[in-house]
A = this chain, B = another copy of it.
Amino acid sequence: METLNAAELLAALGHESRLSIFRLLVEAGPDGVFASAIGEQLGLPAPTLSFHLAHLSRVGLIRGQKESRFIRYSAEFATMDELIAFLTHNCCQGQACLPKAAACDTIAKRRNPANGVSADSAAAACCKPDEQADQPEQ
């Protein structure tokens, strides 16, 4: 992911209504939520909601799937994943940047086909060396 692209994603999330929408969809999971339900839960007028949904869709953070009269929106987890990877990539030149972060030894299992995606996420916004070839620039 390039800086410009990452900045677009971050800017899309950098608005209270859009962040609320995205978080709602992240918590909802892959099944997503109908647009009308989002608007109801967040109390947004339809045109405003539509504007923000379009913005989030345009940058690829959510996706809408039409179902008869409704549109079911869901989070694009892969995009969020890439964004977080960008933010934390090559932190501190791959050195342990936090005093306590001595045990940076679980990287190998990241995206290991054997166990899929590991569960640690926000653990350390740091310490992800380059040598592991984990999408250094895709």
A12: B residues at CB distance < 8 A: 14
Known: A10-B13, A102-B116, A121-B128. A87 touches B97 (CB 8 A): no
Q: In chain B, what residue has the closest Cβ to A18?
A: B7
Copies of this chain, complex-wide, total 2
C-alpha spacing A28/B13, complex, angstroms: 25
User: In the complex, which of the residues B30, B83, B97, B126 contacts A92, with contact meaning CB atoms closer than 8 Å?
Assistant: B30
CB distance from A25 to the nearest CB of B (A): 10
A10: B residues at CB distance < 8 A: 10-11, 13-14, 19
**Would you call A36 an interface residue if the criterion is a C-beta within 8 Å of the partner chain's C-beta atoms?**
no
User: In the complex, which of the residues B28, B109, B124 contacts A121, with contact meaning CB atoms closer than 8 Å?
Assistant: B124
Can you spell out 25 A-B residue pairs with CB atoms less than 8 angstroms apart?
A: A3-B23, A7-B14, A7-B18, A7-B19, A8-B14, A10-B14, A11-B11, A11-B14, A13-B87, A80-B88, A80-B125, A80-B126, A84-B84, A84-B87, A84-B121, A84-B125, A98-B116, A106-B106, A106-B119, A110-B123, A111-B123, A119-B128, A120-B124, A121-B127, A122-B134
